[in-house]
Chain A
Amino acid sequence: MSTPTMGSETVGHLSDETVPGDEPPAKKRQVSGKSPIQIALGRLRKDKVAMTCFTIVMLFVLVAIFADVLQNLFDVTTEPGNPAQQLNPMNELLPYKGPPSGGFDPAHPFGVAPKTATDNLAVWLAGCRTSLLIASLATLVASIIGITLGLIAGFVGGVVDKAISFVIDFFLTIPFLLLALTLAPIINQRFALKPDLYEKAQLWSLVAILAFFGWMGVARLVRGEVLSLREREFILSARVIGMPTTRIMVKELLPNLVAPIVVAVSLMLPAFIAAEAGLAYLGIGITQGNSWGQTILRASNYYDDYALYFWEPLLGIVILVVALNLLGDAIRDAVDPKTRR
């Protein structure tokens, strides 16, 4: 799959022989250079799985961005409904109307939750937003930390490299879940006394925890790449002409690291989404606001009586995470010039 797009860069192209699948010689041959990123994008565009996953991911992103617009559109809110009117006390507080027993209720397309009569669709939409918001913020923070430390460690070397490498190894040794379990309630408690801040605090504490334990992969990767790049001629030349170190790092090294960073980031995002929902499922993530993991925790008792309630958030997570993972994998293949499948 790689040959057609690589064509313009191979030596064979400059000679007179026609490569099969090439443009006819009558047309004036365009010799245009393609950057590695362009080549990768070209490969991605031809990858059906990648494009399908990309579409799915974009749909989720749009849903997350326009969650409140969609809530208004369907006329639903995340506020608890009216349990006395909507729920049947004779039947384990399951709703009268709509799923699981009463068919379809146009006022609540996804049904309402047992016990509280909250609208499932509204919670689902809000959960999608929470999930993507936390994961993207954590990815952003983690990659900034990782790239910065990796660049510094790789380029400066010496004692600095040793120190940063030790910190990386240290963090890799920490069992993530256990420490997250320890940290989350402590950070949460600090804000528990100020209810207006609480929801925001929970969000940021989760972002902090995820980023805190997620940056090492990128840092290691960047450090390794920089170690080999810094011996190359263009860095040497930059040094010779007296370019300041920070400028070399930002202007010379960073652009060469785009490909591995994009791959790392694209695989970090689904991992964080899964981790966020996982923590919420363990009961230590977002416990106030709306999170898919929280809904799964609440709904896992209703797997039988009200399967839809349980499957809605579950499918949300599974589809989003699988699509993101497959997309990340496709990006890795597209970026790697050595891939043959």
Chain B
Amino acid sequence: MFAYIVKRLLAGLVVVVLISMAVFALFWFGPESPARPVCESKTGGKCTEERLANFEESLGYNNPIYEEYGKYVKGVFVGRELTVGTQKIDCDAPCLGYSFKNNTLVWDDLVKRMPATVSVAAGGAFLYLALGIPIGVAAARRRGSLTDKVLVSTFLVVSSVPYYLFALLAWIYCTLVFEIPVLGSSGYTPFTDNPWKWATGLLLPWLCLGLFGCTQYTRYTRGAMVEALSEDYIRTAKAKGLPASTVVYRHGLRSALVPVVTVFGIDLGVLLAGTIFTEKIFEIQGIGLWGLNAVGAKDLQVVAATALFGAVVMVVSNLLVDLVYSVLDPRVRLS
């Protein structure tokens, strides 16, 4: 078990390093000098060749790439001193660089924006399970009935609609057109400022994520439950005279949940890595929107940071899924 975790962590580390290298190289060998956007912004659009050369010099783009990558990695672990134009900035570990657009350290912004994304992701993911599993179980128990058929086909259609259109329509019609009370007042307020506003503001994004995402979970749960309920041990449990709810939930659902948990872990990772569409549509200042805006502004350090952050979250969530998997399902042995 321990050896397995170490092995997986190392593999994960390789992935993260490769991604960081890829993003770094992408900008380095990109079509325009990586210093140009900084130069344009700092000189107010009057970036001459001479000024550009100065910026390239001070930002270190004249050095070989491996040297700069080394500095970048060193910054992540021990911090470093950054030079932007004539300014000198102390960047403590973990240093992910400096956002010339916002004039802030990237790590500070990341930490500042994390609560918003975590709030959106956690609520949405909770609804995935809270809606998906009970509906899936209900459909599996009434398999073949009209309820089951209606549920399955409705959810199939809902899950076929692209998510961002679903959310966009929800936002436009709940907030702007009909101005539904509570539901319509979406926007992010930090939990520590006002828990009630935090919850009501995020209600619509949560519902959008949840309603859309739960369709998939209903499908998985239903499929797994149908299979589980036809197992021999269920017949045995019924024959022993156990109450129906015990048979379904304690004996059936427990084994049916194993594949659902796997998917859930990965989905949660995807959500935490940045709920870009949700944040853009509902104007929530989280990591996804930050990354998106940074792409528009060519704020390379921020883009690199969001990609790196996303990769770390995905690697960790994949590892956690495998560990939880082995706990939930005694048949799985990690090696």
Contact = CB atoms under 8 A, between A and B. Distances in A.
Contacts of A183: 26
Contact of A282 (B156, B165, B276): B276
Contacts of B311: 173-175
Contacts of A278: 162, 164, 277
Interface residues of B, number: 45
A178 B164 contact: no
Given A173-B314, A185-B295, A318 B161 contact: yes
Contacts of B32: 189
A322 interface: yes
Nearest to A314: B165
A73 to B, nearest CB: 29
Interface in B11-69: 11, 15, 18-19, 23, 26-27, 30-32
Interface in A314-333: 314, 317-318, 321-322, 325-326, 329
Contacts of A182: 23, 26, 295, 303-304, 307
Interface in A187-235: 189-190, 192
B13 to A, nearest CB: 12
A322 B26 contact: no
Nearest to B172: A303
A80 interface: no
B160 A178 contact: no
Contacts of A303: 172, 176-177
Interface size class of A (residues with CB under 8 A): 35 or more
A177 B295 contact: no
Interface in A112-153: none
Contacts, number: 100
B15 A178 contact: no
Contact of B18 (A170, A186, A282, A318): A170
Interface string A256-299: 00000000000000100010011001111000000000001000
B280 A282 contact: yes
A304 interface: yes
A275 to B, nearest CB: 8
Contacts of A93: none
A326 B11 CA distance: 38
A192 B32 CA distance: 10
B315 interface: yes
A6 interface: no
B252 interface: no
Secondary structure class of chain A's binding surface, majority of residues: helix
Interface in B162-220: 162, 164-165, 168-169, 172, 176-177
| Interface core residue of B30, B31, B303, B306 (most chain A CB under 10 Å) | B31
A181 B295 contact: yes
Contacts of B11: 166
B258 to A, nearest CB: 19
Given A170-B18, A282-B292, A186 B157 contact: no
A179 interface: yes
B264 to A, nearest CB: 16
A300 interface: yes
A300 B168 contact: yes
B95 interface: no
| Interface core residue of B32, B165, B277 (most chain A CB under 10 Å) | B165
Interface string B298-319: 1000011011001101110010
Given A173-B315, A182-B23, A329-B156, A321 B161 contact: yes
A284 B303 CA distance: 14
A75 B292 CA distance: 39
B274 interface: yes
Contacts of A170: 15, 18
Contacts of B273: 175, 178
B118 to A, nearest CB: 16
Interface string A75-98: 000000000000000000000000
14 contacts: A166-B11, A175-B270, A178-B274, A178-B310, A181-B303, A182-B26, A183-B26, A185-B298, A190-B30, A190-B31, A284-B295, A304-B177, A314-B165, A322-B157
Interface of B: 11, 15, 18-19, 23, 26-27, 30-32, 156-157, 159-162, 164-165, 168-169, 172, 176-177, 270, 273-274, 276-277, 280, 288, 291-292, 295-296, 298, 303-304, 306-307, 310-311, 313-315, 318
Nearest 9 A/B pairs, CB to CB: A175-B310, A325-B160, A274-B162, A190-B31, A322-B160, A175-B273, A189-B31, A181-B295, A173-B314
Given A274-B162, A322-B160, 7 more contacts: A169-B15, A173-B314, A178-B310, A181-B276, A181-B295, A182-B23, A317-B165
